[in-house]
Amino acid sequence: MATVSQNSRLSNVLWPVAAWVIALIFFFPIFWLVFTSFKTDADAVKPEFLFFFTPTLENYTNMTENYDYWRFAINSVITSTFATLFALTVGVPAAYAMAFNPSRHTKDILMWMLSTKMLPAAAVLYPMTFLTKNFLGIYDTHFLVILVLCLINLPIVIWMLFTYFKEIPKEIIEAGKMDGVSTWGEIKDILIPLAWGGIASTALLTFIFCWNEAYWTVRLTTIDAATLSTLIEGNRAPEGLFFGRLSAVSTAAIAPIVILGWFCQKQLVAGLTFGAVK
Amino acid sequence: MSSNNRTLPRILQTPAVVLLLIWMLVPLSMTLYFSFIRYVLNNTRRPEWTTPSPSNWRGFGNYEYVLNAKDFWFAIQNSVFIVTSILIITVVLGLGIAVLVNRKFPGRGIVRVLLISPFFVMPAVNAVLWINMILDPVLGLNGLAVAGINSVVDGLRDFPVLGWFFNLWPVLEPISFRATQTSAYAVIMMVAWQWTPFAVLIFMTSLQSEDESQKEAATLDGASPWSQFINLTVPHLARPIAIVVMIQSIFHLSLYAEIEIVSRGSGNKNLPYLIGEFTNNNIGAASATGIFAVILANIIAIFLLRMVGKSLMD
């Protein structure tokens, strides 16, 4: 008996220590990125300034000059925001219909929508470039990026909303019907206030996915609609010359999303496993 | 009233269905069509091949060409290697960390936040950060650490007894992760770093629904923590493990940004990267490769959809 209690006392100390050590190891690369962003380009590659150096903000103040950061950042904000809004505008009515008026085909439709998400993007790379460049003339426009981001996230949006809406008792919606409320009224006055939390977390998660998207946003833009992914990918190999300024611009590119992500880690599970893990 | 009940839901779903239908069918049928014709972007000898037309019909010629290309088999092999390595690392680490963090201890909330953070880093930043600031053989932490070890060993060589031992010690060479043989390891490392948090998060969610009374009974029966883990926890996690494996397979089969940033595909192509290279000129071959990628993704997708479908309506 004594050994058991000793054992558990020991593990009461070791357990949290191990958890903390692993968490710090995982966070270390992000810490290092932020840390390096306060070094000058020259200091960043000198071993003697590895841990101790005079911190500077010049990498941040020169971000516009060095990388034209804000132009890319504004493009990211515009495309991610509008793609999220459009996906919700199309997704909320669809999920509403499927959750409260399911037909025999609802399950099949949902599965099919999910299967579109699994189409490898590279397989349709050329047709997309061909169509948008030669045919529709919308290559490298905000409109195109918004449209594509909206489409690739629409299945996840509908799935997440569907899993949230399913939790709302049908009777509440039906009571509204009895009172002669129109469908639009039902959505606007009953569903949206009730499912507000679910809709908000769907929006946050969609925004994160849009912001981090790195295939279509890079391949369907050149200058005008290029987002932060394009900016970073374009500066991929500085060969040690610009570690400081590259760290600063990278930090600025990920900070809003990492912080946003902290608030919706729970929703991430529902959103990425399509409700299959609870 | 009853007809209203049926038509309205349909109208509400229509925009979503139509949009996704166009998105799925139009580009994919173009890919299918291009995969059966001769279509190149630059060819001065045969200019008629530079415009897509049914008169350039090639049948299964593009498929044959792709199947005989050495790069294609290398890309498949490399795709499978990268994906399985990432899967093994993330599932094993994810299980261990999830069990570790599933207990109550001081600062658990902060530990969770630190652990999940890598998942929200955009792939381009992830790759740039790892390949430059961490893995660079001269200026990154990799190079600095090896140089540091070497100089410490160098200093110890002059000592009387210890020196004999440290003289046997070789001068270490930092590994360059941009090289042909090692660039795949760099990609595996950075993607596993990013996706282990995802596995942890899912396993943790699932662990919270584990039946505690079963565990208590097992403890009373004298079952060791290890046998509890193997006999109770792992079976409980079978389904989340399967889902983590399949979702990651779908994402990692289409890795692109990381491969581009690490080595521009030198020595480390996967199917999407090969398609991208073909797209620079040979659209026919790119399309045939694309169709192979679709088939590969579908095989995994079918299993995933079955699993998800089961839990859909309950």
A115, A249: one domain: yes
Are A53 and A90 members of one domain?
Answer: no
Locate tokens 């190079």: which residue? B143
- Amino acid in position B195: W
Residue A169 vs residue B88, higher pLDDT: B88
Residues A268 and A151 in one domain: yes
Reported as a single tens digit per residue, the pLDDT across B147-197 is: 888 888 888 888 877 788 888 888 888 888 888 888 999 999 999 999 999
Which residues, numbered 51 to 90 in chain B, qualify as contacts with chain A under a Cβ-Cβ cut-off of 8 Å?
Answer: none
Distance of CA A43 to the CA centre of its chain: 33
Our CA-based measurement puts residue B314 at a distance from the nearest CA of chain A, in whole angstroms, of: 10
Is B312 within 8 Å of A18 when comparing Cβ atoms? no
HEC readout, chain A? CHHHHHHHHHHHHHHHHHHHHHHHHHHHHHHHHHHHCCCCHHHHCCHHHCCCCCCCCHHHHCHHHHHCHHHHHHHHHHHHHHHHHHHHHHHHHHHHHHHHCCCCCHHHHHHHHHHHHCCCHHHHHHHHHHHHHHHCCCCCCHHHHHHHHHHHHHHHHHHHHHHHHHCCCHHHHHHHHHCCCCHHHHHHHHHHHHCHHHHHHHHHHHHHHHHHCCCHHHHCCCCCCCCHHHHHHHCCCCCCCCHHHHHHHHHHHHHHHHHHHHHCHHHHHHHHCCCCCC
Structural domain range at position A186 = 66-272
Nearest chain B CA: its distance from A197 CA (Å): 19
Query: Is the Cβ of A201 closer than 8 Å to some Cβ of chain B?
Result: no
- List A residues 60-89 in contact with B (Cβ-Cβ < 8 A): none
**Would you say residue B224 lies in a domain?**
yes
In a domain, B44, yes or no: yes
Mean pLDDT on B35-46: 88
Q: Are residues A40 and A71 in the same domain?
A: no
| Residues A170-199 pLDDT 10s | 888 777 777 777 777 778 888 888 888 889
pLDDT band at B92 (very low <50, low <70, confident <90, very high): very high
pLDDT band at residue A278 using 50, 70 and 90 as cut-offs: low
CA Rg value for chain B:
26
How many Cβ atoms from other residues are within 10 Å of residue A8's Cβ?
Answer: 10
Chain B residues touching A274 at Cβ < 8 A: 308
pLDDT band at B311 (very low <50, low <70, confident <90, very high): low
How many domains does chain A divide into? 2
For residue A269, the model assigns a pLDDT of 76
Cβ B128–A236 below 8 Å, yes or no? yes
Is A23 in the B-facing interface, judged by CB distances under 8 Å? Answer: yes
Say which residue, B294 or B6, is predicted with more confidence: B294
Same domain for A73 and A157?
yes
Q: Does B206 touch chain A (CB under 8 A)?
A: yes
Res B111: pLDDT: 92
In a domain, B12, yes or no: no
CATH number at residue B159: 1.10.3720.10
Closest B-chain CA to A42: B139
CATH number at residue A78: 1.10.3720.10
Inside any domain, residue B65: yes
Say whether pLDDT at A1 is over 50: no
Tokens of A69: 């950061």
Q: Select the residue of A96, A122, A212 nearest B123 (Cβ to Cβ).
A: A212
Size of interface A-B (CB pairs under 8 A): 296
> Do residue A107 and residue B312 have CB atoms under 8 angstroms apart?
yes
Asked if A173 and A235 sit in the same domain, the reply is yes
> Which residues from chain A sit within 8 angstroms of residue B20, using beta carbons?
112-113, 116, 151, 154-155
| Residue B11, both tokens | 């109208």
Q: Lowest mean pLDDT: which of A1-5, A103-107, B73-77?
A: A1-5
pLDDT at B217 over 90: no
B271-297: average pLDDT:
92
Whether A46 and A93 share a structural domain: no
Contact A277 B202 (CB under 8 A): yes
pLDDT band at B1 (very low <50, low <70, confident <90, very high): very low
- Cβ of A14 under 8 Å from any chain B Cβ? no
Total structural domains within chain B: 1
Q: Which residue has the tokens 């415009």?
A: B51
Tell me, what's the pLDDT at A238? 67
User: Does residue A111 belong to any structural domain of this protein?
Assistant: yes
In a domain, A277, yes or no: no
Is A159 part of any domain? Answer: yes
Confidence of residue A2 (pLDDT cuts 50, 70, 90): very low
Closest-CA residue of B relative to A238 is: B132
Q: Is there a single domain that holds both residue A141 and residue A204? A: yes
Check whether residue A71 and residue A42 sit in a common domain.
no
Answer yes or no: do A96 and A10 share one domain: no
- Can you give the C-alpha Rg of chain A in angstroms? 24
Q: Does A247 touch chain B (CB under 8 A)?
A: yes
Q: Which of B174, B189, B172 is nearest to B138 (CA)?
A: B174
Instruction: Using the structure block, give the residue that is written with the tokens 């009571």.
Output: A175
For residue A131, being part of any structural domain is answered with: yes
Report which of residues B3 and A47 the model is more confident about: A47
Percent pLDDT > 70 in chain B is: 97
B6 in a structural domain: no
Give pLDDT, residue A174. Answer: 77
- A130 and A30 in one domain? no
Strand partners, B37: B57
Contact criterion met (CB < 8 Å) for A94 and B17:
yes
Nearest C-alpha in B relative to A271 = B202
A 133-192 → B contacts, CB under 8 A: 151, 154-155, 158, 183
Q: Does B227 touch chain A (CB under 8 A)?
A: no
Q: What is the pLDDT of residues A31-87, one digit of tens each?
A: 999 999 999 888 888 877 888 888 889 999 988 888 899 999 999 999 999 999 999
Q: Has residue A278 been placed in a domain?
A: no
Least confident of A128-137, A146-155, A247-256, B162-171: B162-171
Q: Which two tokens stand for residue A147?
A: 């449209």
Judged against a pLDDT cut of 50, whether residue B2 lies above it is answered with no
Question: In whole angstroms, what is the distance from residue B37 CA to residue B23 CA?
Answer: 22
pLDDT of residue B72: 93
Average pLDDT of chain B to the nearest whole number = 87
Q: Answer whether A132's CB lies under 8 Å from A220's CB.
A: yes
Q: Could you say which of A126, A229, A268 has the minimum Cβ distance to residue B122? A: A229
What is the reported pLDDT for B4?
53
Q: Verify that A29 and A159 share a domain, yes or no.
A: no
The residue range of the domain holding B67 is: 24-282+290-310
Residue B5's pLDDT band (cuts 50, 70, 90)? low
- Which of B10, B23, B108 faces A151 most closely, judged by CB atoms? B23
Partner residue facing A97 (CB), from B9, B24, B110: B9
Out of B27, B147, B291, name the one closest to residue A127 (CB): B27
